[in-house]
Amino acid sequence: MDISIINQPETLIRRVSLYLMIEVAVKVIDRTKFDEKTRRLLSQELTNMERLHHPHIIRAYEAHEVLQRWHLVMEYAPKGELNSYLKRSGRLDEKTSKNYSSQILSALDHLHNNGVVHRDLKAENVFIVSNMYVKLGDFGFSKCVAPDAALTTFCGSPPYAAPELFVADSYTGPAVDLWALGVLLFYMVTGSLPFKADSLHKIKRLILSGDYRIPAYVSNDCQTLISGLLATNVERRYTVSQAKSSKWFSDIDWQHLMKHKDPTPDEIDDASARYLLKKWWDVDSYELDKALSEGPKNKLTGIYRILRSKGLQYKKDPTLPDQKYKNKRGRVKRNGSCSTGKNKPRPASVSHKELTTVDLRDQKSIKNGENSTRTCNIL
């Protein structure tokens, strides 16, 4: 994978796969700034992405280290973040909001059923694949938990943070995710966040009191769903099941939503991907199966996964994307590693930069941009 390095502690860049000429997203983190907490979070992120397979969750392709940088190569969403779209174009109509929020809710249902909580659901972490489809991404604060487990790491983005994150001794992850979905749904249908203020203290006060106003133009059924998701009392807050059963979602076929064809339009099947890998680089089934068993840390696994999701463009014309690499088997070694070659790296395109985690009770660290949706530790 040909990757240009950006000197940021944590950065998300858009790159083109050297081998397949396909755009991917790459999270780049400076390993020299690693501490034990960072290592744990990165391990959790990769582990949780590996156990989740859903049409509305961003796919992880590959994870590796290059030049003191840790890279997580993921599916690229060509239309960018939902937050950027909302800031640029304003609120969505209810039909589009229902479409997007039902997909996110289905993704959350899949997460929770697999023992994973996201803990950082916000518009910046929802990615638009096409006009009809969105995917949930950025699992940096996700955690694998037992059902109803009490969590004590108080993290999240202040405008999306549930009340219990500010005052309780512990919380349950699914309830926090559903509160954030309520904030996100409000944002989609109104173009504005429900809890906005010029300081963390004021945001906290608004959230704890449930002080928000839904505009009259929002339908009654949508208002009911938002109110259920934004119930300050955890016991009264909607569960996934209650949200899916709401009147606003009455026309959604949830089974079809989960089972329908993946919204990645260029997906090919396993046999087609194996055929192309054999044709291009003489990768046999034994070699590929061994790579896949090693997971995303094997570069051949990454190439296979990218090809599975984006390989339709090569099915009718199965020629190697970059002809100058054809028949050069050394480019993909039998241990799954890849030689770097002498080609100069292509410039990377910066699409998003992550801000470092800060202590929200440290006034010096939050004196600017208190209304920011950056992810923070609440305590």
Q: Which residues are catalytic?
A: 120
Q: Beta strand pairing status for 143-144 and 116-117?
A: antiparallel
The DSSP bridge pattern shows strands 376-377 and 155-156 to be antiparallel
Calpha distance 93→146 (Å, rounded): 37
Assess contact for 314 and 322: CB atoms under 8 A. no
CA–CA gap between residue 90 and residue 261 (Å, rounded): 29
Is residue 71 within 8 A of residue 64, CB to CB? The reply is yes
C-alpha 346: how far from chain center: 25
Name beta bridge partners: 155: 377
Residue closest to 159 by CA, chosen among 185, 141, 184: 184
Neighbours of 193 (CB within 10 A): 19
**Distance separating alpha carbons of residues 269 and 228, to the nearest angstrom:** 41
Helix (H) or strand (E) holding 200: helix 200-209
Question: Given phi > 0 = left and psi -120 to 50 = alpha, else beta, which region is 11?
Answer: beta
* 170 Cβ neighbours under 8 A, 6+ residues apart: 150, 151, 152
Identity (one letter) of the amino acid at 2?
A: D
